[in-house]
Amino acid sequence: MTAGPFDHILNWRLLAGSHAFPGPDGGTCINEAAIVAAGLPYKAITATEDCPPCFSRPLAAYALGLNDAMPEGERTRLMAFVLRLSGSADSPEIEGERTAFLALESVRRILPPLLDRAGLPALAARCEAAPGAAEALAAAKLAESQGAVLAQAAAMRRAWVQGARLAAVSRTATAAVKAFGDARCAAEVAEGAAPFANGIWPTAVAILDAALAIGRQAPEIDLVRARDRLDAARSARVQA
């Protein structure tokens, strides 16, 4: 069976950070790849504000945060979204809903495995069962404070491994609290939990997929044209 245009697109290499376009080995970050695939004028993306106005700010921020935090072997999962970012911008109300969703799902799905590993199963269950933003925010704040107090106590006992897990709980819960106002911080929740719990990156990507289903969907981009644009960009770099 021959590979289709989308399978070909998946071979584009995503790199952390921003770089001369495309990167020396033919890659870009996820938002830069989405710009090229959509046929928009290329620009380096160092922050969400650098994205074209047609990109949803919270979705682009979360994608950029994941792009920069993921190990190379996991980052390829983001290429599935390269055709879904351009044209996703929506009303302030929808963008707020997306931000709240990213924060809520990070508390419900990313924090609990970390809390379980740190020996806080009751708090993990509270986060997982949070029915809405207010409850999730309260649970995250509790995890932030409990993690800090317990990490200090573990350090005093020289329980270094447990202390590291509890300190990670506090840091990651801090990011979760901030995520209710800043979607980039939702990606920091995944970044904080990933070293201590399995399956965090696939879960974070699933959260992005669900967030993209909220509000305006990006217009369909012709797969062959998107493939050719990415290939042309890579070829131009090789010949330069």
What does the radius of gyration of the chain's CA atoms come to, in whole angstroms? Answer: 19
Same domain as 189, residue 223? no
Rounded to the nearest integer, the mean pLDDT of the chain is: 88
Count how many domains the chain has: 2
Same domain as 204, residue 102? yes
Same domain as 208, residue 107? yes
| Tally of CB atoms within 10 A around 227 | 19
Same domain as 97, residue 192? yes
Same domain as 119, residue 62? no
The region of weakest confidence among 21-35, 76-90, 141-155 is: 21-35
Same domain as 210, residue 101? yes
Same domain as 203, residue 106? yes
The answer to whether the pTM exceeds 0.85 is: yes
Cα separation values, 122 from 8, 75, 116, 148, 199, Å? 45, 32, 8, 17, 20
- Sequence-ordered list of residues with C-beta below 8 angstroms from that of 235, at least 6 positions apart, any chain: none
Q: For residue 128, is pLDDT > 50?
A: yes
What integer pLDDT is reported at residue 232 of this predicted model?
A: 78
Same domain as 206, residue 122? yes
Alpha carbon 139 to chain centroid distance?
A: 21
pLDDT digits over 185-199, tens only? 999 999 999 999 999
Residues in the chain: 240
Same domain as 106, residue 4? no
b/e for 100-126, b at 16 or more Cβ within 10 A? bbbbbbbbbbbbbbbbbbbebeebbeb
- Structural domain boundaries, residue 137: 91-215
